[in-house]
Protein backbone atom coordinates (compact mmCIF):
# COMPACT_ATOMS: atom_id res chain seq x y z
CA UNK A 1 0.00 0.00 0.00
CA UNK A 2 2.61 2.54 1.02
CA UNK A 3 5.51 1.03 -0.94
CA UNK A 4 6.95 2.40 -4.22
CA UNK A 5 4.52 3.27 -6.99
CA UNK A 6 4.66 0.03 -8.94
CA UNK A 7 4.95 -3.40 -7.29
CA UNK A 8 8.75 -2.86 -7.06
CA UNK A 9 9.47 -0.67 -10.06
CA UNK A 10 13.21 -0.15 -9.81
CA UNK A 11 14.18 0.06 -6.16
CA UNK A 12 17.19 2.23 -5.47
CA UNK A 13 20.53 0.51 -6.01
CA UNK A 14 22.02 0.77 -2.51
CA UNK A 15 18.61 0.13 -1.03
CA UNK A 16 18.31 -3.27 -2.59
CA UNK A 17 21.92 -3.96 -1.73
CA UNK A 18 21.12 -3.22 1.89
CA UNK A 19 18.09 -5.44 1.72
CA UNK A 20 20.23 -8.26 0.38
CA UNK A 21 22.87 -7.79 3.04
CA UNK A 22 20.27 -7.83 5.77
CA UNK A 23 18.68 -10.97 4.41
CA UNK A 24 21.97 -12.78 4.06
CA UNK A 25 23.09 -11.91 7.55
CA UNK A 26 19.67 -12.80 8.95
CA UNK A 27 19.69 -16.17 7.23
CA UNK A 28 23.01 -17.05 8.82
CA UNK A 29 22.09 -15.83 12.28
CA UNK A 30 18.64 -17.40 12.31
CA UNK A 31 20.03 -20.66 11.00
CA UNK A 32 22.36 -20.83 13.97
CA UNK A 33 20.24 -19.54 16.84
CA UNK A 34 16.68 -19.35 15.59
CA UNK A 35 14.20 -16.87 16.93
CA UNK A 36 16.38 -15.77 19.81
CA UNK A 37 18.44 -13.60 17.48
CA UNK A 38 17.80 -9.91 18.17
CA UNK A 39 17.16 -7.30 15.51
CA UNK A 40 19.84 -4.86 16.70
CA UNK A 41 22.28 -7.69 16.22
CA UNK A 42 21.12 -8.20 12.67
CA UNK A 43 21.47 -4.50 11.94
CA UNK A 44 24.97 -4.42 13.38
CA UNK A 45 26.09 -7.49 11.47
CA UNK A 46 24.66 -6.08 8.26
CA UNK A 47 26.32 -2.73 8.86
CA UNK A 48 23.11 -0.71 8.68
CA UNK A 49 20.97 1.25 11.13
CA UNK A 50 18.04 -0.40 12.84
CA UNK A 51 15.66 1.83 10.95
CA UNK A 52 16.86 0.33 7.70
CA UNK A 53 15.99 -3.16 8.86
CA UNK A 54 12.49 -1.98 9.71
CA UNK A 55 12.14 -0.15 6.40
CA UNK A 56 12.63 -3.40 4.52
CA UNK A 57 10.96 -5.74 6.99
CA UNK A 58 8.19 -3.99 8.94
CA UNK A 59 8.16 -6.59 11.67
CA UNK A 60 10.40 -9.27 13.09
CA UNK A 61 8.06 -11.93 11.77
CA UNK A 62 8.47 -10.53 8.24
CA UNK A 63 12.22 -10.86 8.45
CA UNK A 64 12.03 -14.39 9.83
CA UNK A 65 9.62 -15.31 7.09
CA UNK A 66 11.74 -13.73 4.36
CA UNK A 67 14.87 -15.42 5.66
CA UNK A 68 13.12 -18.79 5.50
CA UNK A 69 11.57 -18.28 2.07
CA UNK A 70 14.52 -19.85 0.30
CA UNK A 71 14.26 -22.94 2.44
CA UNK A 72 10.61 -23.30 1.61
CA UNK A 73 11.44 -23.00 -2.07
CA UNK A 74 14.14 -25.63 -1.75
CA UNK A 75 11.77 -27.90 0.09
CA UNK A 76 9.14 -27.50 -2.57
CA UNK A 77 11.72 -28.30 -5.22
CA UNK A 78 12.73 -31.42 -3.35
CA UNK A 79 9.10 -32.34 -2.87
CA UNK A 80 8.66 -32.46 -6.63
CA UNK A 81 11.38 -35.07 -6.89
CA UNK A 82 9.43 -37.16 -4.39
CA UNK A 83 6.67 -37.58 -6.94
CA UNK A 84 8.78 -39.57 -9.39
CA UNK A 85 10.62 -42.05 -7.16
CA UNK A 86 9.63 -45.45 -5.85
CA UNK A 87 5.88 -45.59 -5.68
CA UNK A 88 4.42 -45.21 -2.20
CA UNK A 89 7.53 -43.77 -0.62
CA UNK A 90 7.14 -40.12 -1.59
CA UNK A 91 5.79 -38.77 1.70
CA UNK A 92 8.32 -40.68 3.74
CA UNK A 93 11.18 -39.23 1.73
CA UNK A 94 9.62 -35.78 1.91
CA UNK A 95 9.26 -35.82 5.68
CA UNK A 96 12.80 -37.01 6.20
CA UNK A 97 14.09 -34.18 4.07
CA UNK A 98 12.04 -31.68 6.04
CA UNK A 99 13.45 -33.06 9.28
CA UNK A 100 17.00 -32.74 8.03
CA UNK A 101 16.38 -29.18 6.90
CA UNK A 102 14.81 -28.28 10.24
CA UNK A 103 17.80 -29.75 12.02
CA UNK A 104 20.28 -27.84 9.89
CA UNK A 105 18.52 -24.47 9.91
CA UNK A 106 16.85 -23.19 13.07
CA UNK A 107 15.45 -20.31 11.06
CA UNK A 108 12.98 -22.66 9.45
CA UNK A 109 11.55 -23.75 12.79
CA UNK A 110 11.33 -20.10 13.78
CA UNK A 111 9.32 -19.33 10.65
CA UNK A 112 6.99 -22.26 11.18
CA UNK A 113 6.52 -21.33 14.82
CA UNK A 114 5.84 -17.71 13.90
CA UNK A 115 3.31 -18.75 11.29
CA UNK A 116 1.61 -21.08 13.74
CA UNK A 117 1.35 -18.50 16.49
CA UNK A 118 0.11 -15.97 13.97
CA UNK A 119 -3.57 -15.66 13.13
CA UNK A 120 -5.18 -19.06 12.80
CA UNK A 121 -5.23 -19.09 9.03
CA UNK A 122 -3.52 -15.85 8.09
CA UNK A 123 -2.97 -15.14 4.40
CA UNK A 124 0.33 -16.99 4.23
CA UNK A 125 2.22 -16.07 1.07
CA UNK A 126 1.15 -17.79 -2.11
CA UNK A 127 4.58 -19.39 -1.98
CA UNK A 128 3.11 -21.90 0.45
CA UNK A 129 0.14 -22.53 -1.81
CA UNK A 130 2.52 -24.11 -4.31
CA UNK A 131 4.05 -26.33 -1.66
CA UNK A 132 0.62 -27.29 -0.41
CA UNK A 133 -0.36 -28.43 -3.88
CA UNK A 134 2.71 -30.61 -4.25
CA UNK A 135 2.13 -32.25 -0.89
CA UNK A 136 -1.41 -32.94 -1.96
CA UNK A 137 -0.07 -34.65 -5.08
CA UNK A 138 2.37 -36.73 -3.07
CA UNK A 139 -0.37 -37.88 -0.75
CA UNK A 140 -2.59 -38.77 -3.67
CA UNK A 141 0.20 -40.66 -5.38
CA UNK A 142 1.19 -42.63 -2.27
CA UNK A 143 -2.43 -43.35 -1.53
CA UNK A 144 -2.91 -44.72 -5.03
CA UNK A 145 0.04 -47.00 -4.37
CA UNK A 146 -1.77 -48.20 -1.27
CA UNK A 147 0.91 -46.94 1.07
CA UNK A 148 -1.01 -44.31 3.01
CA UNK A 149 -4.31 -44.28 4.83
CA UNK A 150 -7.06 -43.10 2.51
CA UNK A 151 -8.32 -40.26 4.70
CA UNK A 152 -4.98 -38.47 5.02
CA UNK A 153 -5.06 -34.73 4.34
CA UNK A 154 -2.53 -32.00 3.73
CA UNK A 155 -3.63 -30.46 7.02
CA UNK A 156 -2.64 -33.68 8.78
CA UNK A 157 0.84 -33.48 7.30
CA UNK A 158 1.17 -29.80 8.23
CA UNK A 159 0.13 -30.52 11.77
CA UNK A 160 2.69 -33.27 12.08
CA UNK A 161 5.46 -31.17 10.59
CA UNK A 162 4.58 -28.44 13.07
CA UNK A 163 4.81 -30.90 15.92
CA UNK A 164 8.10 -32.21 14.56
CA UNK A 165 9.45 -28.68 14.17
CA UNK A 166 8.61 -27.78 17.75
CA UNK A 167 10.41 -30.87 18.98
CA UNK A 168 13.50 -30.30 16.87
CA UNK A 169 13.73 -26.64 17.86
CA UNK A 170 13.94 -27.52 21.54
CA UNK A 171 16.78 -29.89 20.78
CA UNK A 172 15.06 -32.42 23.02
CA UNK A 173 14.61 -35.98 21.97
CA UNK A 174 15.71 -37.59 18.77
CA UNK A 175 13.56 -36.45 15.88
CA UNK A 176 14.16 -39.47 13.64
CA UNK A 177 12.55 -41.66 16.26
CA UNK A 178 9.60 -39.27 16.59
CA UNK A 179 9.18 -39.15 12.84
CA UNK A 180 9.30 -42.93 12.58
CA UNK A 181 6.63 -43.28 15.26
CA UNK A 182 4.48 -40.56 13.75
CA UNK A 183 4.74 -42.00 10.29
CA UNK A 184 3.19 -45.26 11.40
CA UNK A 185 -0.01 -43.31 11.89
CA UNK A 186 0.03 -42.14 8.29
CA UNK A 187 0.40 -45.55 6.71
CA UNK A 188 -2.50 -47.62 5.52
CA UNK A 189 -3.89 -49.87 8.22
According to the binding rule CB under 8 A, does residue 162 interact with a copy of itself?
A: yes
Q: How do the residues of the chain divide into helix, strand and coil, expressed in percent and rounded to 5?
A: 70, 0, 30
Contacts of residue 127, Cβ cutoff 8 Å, sequence gap at least 6: 69, 72, 73
State the nearest-atom distance from the C-beta of 122 to DNA, in Å: 15
According to the binding rule CB under 7 A, does residue 5 interact with DNA?
A: yes
User: Which listed residue (117, 126, 129, 150) binds a copy of itself by CB under 8 A?
Assistant: 117
> How far apart, in Å, are the Cα atoms of 29 and each of 32, 38, 42, 147, 170?
5, 9, 8, 39, 17
Residue 166 contact among a copy of itself, DNA, none, beta carbon within 5 to 8 Å by kind: a copy of itself
According to the binding rule CB under 7 A, does residue 50 interact with DNA?
A: yes
With vertex at residue 182, the alpha carbon angle to CA 176 and CA 185, rounded to the nearest 5 degrees, is: 150
According to the binding rule CB under 7 A, does residue 96 interact with DNA?
A: no
Interface residues toward a copy of itself, by CB under 8 A:
113, 116-117, 120, 155-156, 158-160, 162-164, 166-167, 170-174, 177-178, 180-187, 189
Amino acid sequence: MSTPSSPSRKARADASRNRDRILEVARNLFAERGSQVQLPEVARAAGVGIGTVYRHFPTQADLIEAAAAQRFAEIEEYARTCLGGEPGRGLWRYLNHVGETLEADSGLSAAIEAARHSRGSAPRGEALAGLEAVIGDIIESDCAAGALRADLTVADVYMMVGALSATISTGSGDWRRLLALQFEGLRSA
